[in-house]
Amino acid sequence: MRIGIANDHRAYKVKEELKKMLDEYDIVDYGCYSQQRIDYPKYAITLAEAVINKEVDLGIVMCGTGIGVSIACNKVKGIRCAKIDNKDEAKSAKEHNDANVLAFSAQSNTAKEIKEMIDIFINSTFLSDPCYKIRIDQVQKYEETNEY
């Protein structure tokens, strides 16, 4: 599996630790590459576009809270970015929403905790209950037509 990862300056240290823990995957780092202050949208959107263009199979974004990067990613058509705070949400992000990008808070989670949530997400399966597919389809239709 090829995983893209992006971050802002506040998540740089956590990202570097996390990359070492994800050694079983092919990791593509979309930046940022230091703790020097940057604006996150450029990095989050670049990662989201890589997911849409199938350069990576899954996107991981991090900032101080995870909120800003998740908002930025969700502006890219076709992205379903879930802001994850715990293991149950990681499982539901896959089972119910078939998310393709996960967003994390680097100030609330350690690299180890984030890795555990990523593992749960990867080892979960999108559920076959039609209600989940219908909801995803409704969001995609709105994205394309501004109608439900």
Domain ranges, ordered by start, for the chain? 2-145
CB 9 within 8 A of CB 32: yes
CB 75 within 8 A of CB 45: yes
Q: Is 9 a catalytic residue?
A: no
Query: pTM of the prediction?
Result: 0.96
Task: Give the pLDDT of residue 57.
Answer: 98
**Residue 132: is its pLDDT beyond 90?**
yes
Quote the CA–CA distance of 80 and 100 in Å, as a whole number. 6
**Residue 128: is its pLDDT beyond 90?**
no
Q: Is 81 a catalytic residue?
A: no
Peptide bond into 32 cis (omega under 30): yes
The one catalytic residue in 9, 32, 63, 73 is 63
Q: Where residue 43 falls among pLDDT bands split at 50, 70, 90?
A: very high
**Residue 9: is its pLDDT beyond 90?**
yes
Task: Give the pLDDT of residue 25.
Answer: 97
The pLDDT tens digits of the residues spanning 89-102 come to 999 999 999 999 99
The one catalytic residue in 32, 73, 81, 96 is 96
Q: Tell me yes or no: is domain 2-145 CATH 3.40.1400.10.
A: yes
Task: Give the pLDDT of residue 148.
Answer: 80
Q: Is the dihedral of CA 24, 109, 15, 100 positive or negative?
A: positive
The angle at the Cα of 121, spanning 127 to 143, to the nearest 5 degrees, equals 65
The pLDDT tens digits of the residues spanning 52-68 come to 999 999 999 999 999 99
